[in-house]
Structure 1
């Protein structure tokens, strides 16, 4: 029991949940007052909360139980230094060093104490000793550089800071100190560059812009400055200035092509993200005139797609363009030459075919075509990870090793939806490995870490990730989402486990020859679903997930808090704006014509330019019927989760998107008893809401075509009794959505069956 409590306490501590960790350590000490590690870690909980007297009491308690190990004296030194008892702190650190002569952190902290005392020479000596023992800690170099600055040894300080920067290239403190150092030697251009970088990595974009502009007055050829300056403008939504920055970079580099490809790629990406699709295509064409053989530009040019479409003919036009250029690109690309492998790999590392899946078509053949192409590129670069892997001889008592990989083990739809697979895993039969491909942790990340036997975090490094997965000798590797992140798509093109699966985090077939199975909920799939996948389809019972009942707050806000009218029927449609296809805008108009008090509420895209384009499209659709969209449509800013739930409680009716429906958003709306109109389509991604409604037996609002959609939406808007009846039915039946273990059982049965085949 103590071991379990200690593991839980450490997990809470690592996640920064101080009160929960404190409670667990106190429980341990109540059971065993001589638990040295619990006393020490409890002291660190107090220390992190600046409760220094309590921290010292705990550290002394740990020391009384064990005075033979360096760590006890080291922690005591931290507490003493925090209370400015520097003499005692020095003694504690020296004792830690006496017991462990190679503990670099102890030398570093001892140096910090001497710095506080103004004894620079002593501090410098200990910092150098720390670096001698551990040359990979950027903080050691940073503090040493600060000492050298204080001693007016500016040149030496710059050398040391640059060594620190090699270890931690985005550390704003190191960058700022370099700015200070270059200011001291009157190199204002270099100082401005480093001050700009420091502000940039702290998301202080206005300050960064000022510094970068100052730097460019002298260093007009620095591509990195142009890229970061343009990115700063984008972050604060000053898109014309960002475009001008890219133009300026191209003009300044007219006598040299070095770095221009990177500028062009960033410029094209910006234009696509703000919905200027044709402008993006034109810039790509111009770039290809200068660099006709660059594969990155060719691939970028091929997969430019709009985020929003104006009409159906646009969808068909861009889809055909995408298909034709993909075929051409594959034909023209030499995949056999090892000399091409590096640039081909770099080209596929930036984007996926994400927006293709939002056109409302079956993407199987295009996905297979691109998936094969991607696999061949990866194959050239990493032949060691392509060969089939033999399945190990599985014995009945062996634990099956399952690996889950994602870029979204965080507060994201993917992370939220699939956590139950780990939380309710049968750990007697399975050993769980998680591979988190980015380094952006939050509370949900901590839960994934807690429920994993092994949890890895990476700095988006394909080779590190592949080596780790391959070395773990998994039985089954499951990609929770494929198609949103370029890195995981590349990794999925390798063969790192004998069995590789994709889940429906992004609900479309991968088309990759290296993915054997596609795991999907049975209720969301049509009868002929296998024909939509290149993988073998595995249908899990019900919704396929273990989903806990969400905590829905009491209604605290009113319509006026969201700027909504008091006398309207609120139709809430809160999907990402790129899910709304133009041919269905007329549905809103038809509802408005029959429900005069209708108010359609949407949530903005993260990019205000895209939101405005959507607003203008609605305006045109309503104007075609002599109506003013502003009388009926409200687009709210992006909301915090609490406000989003309040909005669901306030709304009268939910309107689902057609061809690519909601899933987690639908579960949230159902939790708020909101009736949702949805059109059940052919593909799984158009049937998600319908599957959820079928699960709770509320089929009255599931329709098969646009005419039925309008009819049921109007009925809900005009017939309050019918609307309340549906709300009541949802309230009565929704409990079946929560804590359903059938999906977990189905998943684990599949794992057991497939491993023994």
Structure 2
């Protein structure tokens, strides 16, 4: 059994399974062996066999709460939510303090109800009535899992009042206040937790907490300065982490929305983590410079890494084409999933040659990836989830690169390349990246054209009056930088028939914070701001088709939304800045040869918006041109072919212990492999 555990720890799942099965031949009544076999089978991507093995373990040890929880997790990955809920309930009944099972139960109940009714459920909040501190904490945990943070805060405050020494309640209260956009209330809660017990993860959460919806540019400056100072203090005091994946509660996601260059912050954060946990910088055996690349003379082995690579997610839409179209005569393509093994993720994995579903602690997951001996690891996004971020610290392939899923440098020394586009970057852009910046000729996506079915304009559906000029900005609310508030006010003041339409956050506290900020910033026209509830995929497309003008958010612009809107012919006004995260819509329009709604200044941005909103004839002309040229954006195999050549060049360079320093691709597109590429059409 010890040999099997070691094999599992280092990612050798097949060896581990063999060891456990040999042990079971001698000791078939060992429930722990059946459980370990289930874990190794899951690592091999065999959930059905894992369920059978775990059920056998639970027959032998029916009181194992962890086993029932693990069974529920597997059942969720198979989409069997009714059975999963039953398993999680058994785990909670056996161990009422089992927080992981409580959280899983809340999420499973929510998903179960969504599938039946389309709406989230309240059942998870009724796991126990709050008759004492533990019960209040459990109810808060379920509420938190449903993103009902304000209600969770009520129960957590009750728990801490009933038991002031309740460490986990203080911690979760801090996290809930942070989710409610009140970091100033989160910090004292973290301090109370730390006074009761030192914890590196909580200390980091306290140091790096940020407002989701800052109320001013001055507030942004304050919180960024605090973030850097606290981070430097953490590194100076030598706060250590044993397993960052299990200990770190939050990532640095919201830094990217402050409208500033984040390289110093990303590098400081990475430096702290490397000093706090030496294991992060682990080097896989096949990556030692004295060893040849694994695929020398054969196909290049590529692992595409993400927690979000599934059809309905922006990351899946941007990168699914790579998974599907990379040339299998030259490459073996694996999907390395750092997220849950959901039905959607499994469907995307079907486009790869194989899939690797990571599980366990950091060391185990590093070993699972290293066992595959990839030549290239291609991260679609780094910074959106904790597991992907920490996995990227290690040297797990000779070539490691990331692209624009989260359009900010990682700050990681072991990340070799950032794959961007000449259309997305300014001439001096390299200074914003720790990685070597690679400028592809096209946008770094092979985006499938959205559903070809006609989308009917339906203004009545959203309550738009016939005489309204609808200016919409349907972005996540954390993209609304306070520095842009004057633009929205200027547009509304210039067009008395104008309405500014945005989408509510799924957290009411964030929506309320933005409403209060705007009411203070432009009280004279605030009544013409319209907050719509969140829209499903089809309804969102109807909304995009039904508005008059889309307004790109300055400081952090649209990506997937801009592509979808362009496919419908809805014009977008944009004003690119110096950073890639502000330049995507401009790059889309440059690709189509249509830049008439790209502004150079804030004043021009407002003027273009007003002209589009009030001049129906011009708006129609712009829309017709977008529809006529939209085919240029989608299914771009030229960028896939260029990516293949880059991967080949990067692997060749790694064999010589060097990097590709100046990517200059001499390829010219032809109609045979890139029929929609403008250069190919110009050749004709």
TM-score normalized by the length of structure 2: 0.79
The change in CA–CA distance for 1:246 and 1:573 in structure 2 (over 3 A counts) is same
Residue 205 of structure 2 corresponds to which residue in structure 1? 300
2: distance between equivalents of 1:179 and 1:548?
43
- Offset of residue 131 of structure 1: 8.1
Residue 464 of structure 2 corresponds to which residue in structure 1? 564
CA contact (8 A) 1:295 1:344 kept: no
The change in CA–CA distance for 1:132 and 1:584 in structure 2 (over 3 A counts) is closer
Residue 248 of structure 1 corresponds to which residue in structure 2? 158
1: distance between equivalents of 2:104 and 2:375?
44
Equivalent of residue 350 in structure 1, options 246, 249, 252: 249
1: distance between equivalents of 2:93 and 2:277?
44
Answering whether residue 372 of structure 2 is matched by residue 463 of structure 1, we say no
Considering Cα pairs closer than 8 Å and 6+ residues apart, tell me whether 1 or 2 has the greater RCO: 2
Equivalent of residue 232 in structure 1, options 142, 158, 177: 142
The change in CA–CA distance for 1:618 and 1:428 in structure 2 (over 3 A counts) is same
Residue 726 of structure 1 corresponds to which residue in structure 2? 622
The change in CA–CA distance for 1:165 and 1:314 in structure 2 (over 3 A counts) is same
The change in CA–CA distance for 1:195 and 1:738 in structure 2 (over 3 A counts) is closer
What is the aligned-residue RMSD (CA, Å)? 3.3
1: distance between equivalents of 2:101 and 2:253?
35
CA contact (8 A) 1:519 1:537 kept: yes
Equivalent of residue 429 in structure 1, options 291, 314, 330: 330
Q: Which moved more, 1:743-752 or 1:227-236?
A: 227-236
Ranges in structure 2 where 5+ consecutive residues have no aligned partner = 1-20, 22-27, 39-49, 74-83, 114-120, 654-684
Name the SS of the counterpart of 2:543 in structure 1. helix
- Offset of residue 521 of structure 1: 2.1
Greater helix proportion: 1
The change in CA–CA distance for 1:253 and 1:168 in structure 2 (over 3 A counts) is farther
Equivalent of residue 263 in structure 1, options 169, 178, 190: 169
Name the SS of the counterpart of 1:212 in structure 2. coil
Aligned residues: 592
2: distance between equivalents of 1:712 and 1:442?
44
- Offset of residue 158 of structure 1: 8.5
CA contact (8 A) 2:476 2:503 kept: yes
Equivalent of residue 601 in structure 2, options 705, 714, 723: 705
- Offset of residue 398 of structure 1: 1.6
Name the SS of the counterpart of 1:679 in structure 2. coil
CA contact (8 A) 2:183 2:209 kept: yes
CA contact (8 A) 2:69 2:88 kept: no
- Offset of residue 603 of structure 1: 1.1
- Offset of residue 452 of structure 1: 1.3
Name the SS of the counterpart of 1:571 in structure 2. strand
Name the SS of the counterpart of 1:703 in structure 2. coil
Answering whether residue 570 of structure 2 is matched by residue 674 of structure 1, we say yes
Answering whether residue 643 of structure 2 is matched by residue 740 of structure 1, we say no
CA contact (8 A) 2:487 2:606 kept: yes
2: distance between equivalents of 1:666 and 1:600?
17
2: distance between equivalents of 1:722 and 1:297?
55
- Offset of residue 281 of structure 1: 2.3
- Offset of residue 502 of structure 1: 1.1
* Runs of 4+, deviation exceeding 6 Å: 128-133, 137-146, 178-182, 193-197
Residue 374 of structure 2 corresponds to which residue in structure 1? 474
2: distance between equivalents of 1:181 and 1:294?
28
| Superposition map of 1:559-708 within 5 A | 559-623=459-523, 626-627=524-525, 629-630=526-527, 632-708=528-604
Residue 213 of structure 1 corresponds to which residue in structure 2? 129
| Superposition map of 1:44-193 within 5 A | 159=62, 162=65, 164-165=67-68, 167-168=70-71, 171-174=84-87, 176=89
- Offset of residue 280 of structure 1: 1.3
CA contact (8 A) 1:226 1:249 kept: yes
Residue 364 of structure 1 corresponds to which residue in structure 2? 263
Equivalent of residue 276 in structure 1, options 182, 186, 210: 182
1: distance between equivalents of 2:598 and 2:71?
53
1: distance between equivalents of 2:293 and 2:101?
56
Residue 416 of structure 1 corresponds to which residue in structure 2? 317
**Greater Rg by CA:** 1
Write out per-residue CA displacement over residues 309-330 of structure 1, whole angstroms, 9 at most, x where no aligned residue.
1111111111111111111111
The change in CA–CA distance for 1:413 and 1:251 in structure 2 (over 3 A counts) is same
The change in CA–CA distance for 1:206 and 1:142 in structure 2 (over 3 A counts) is farther
Name the SS of the counterpart of 2:397 in structure 1. coil
| Superposition map of 1:505-584 within 5 A | 505-556=405-456, 558-584=458-484
- Offset of residue 682 of structure 1: 0.2
Equivalent of residue 278 in structure 2, options 369, 379, 382: 379
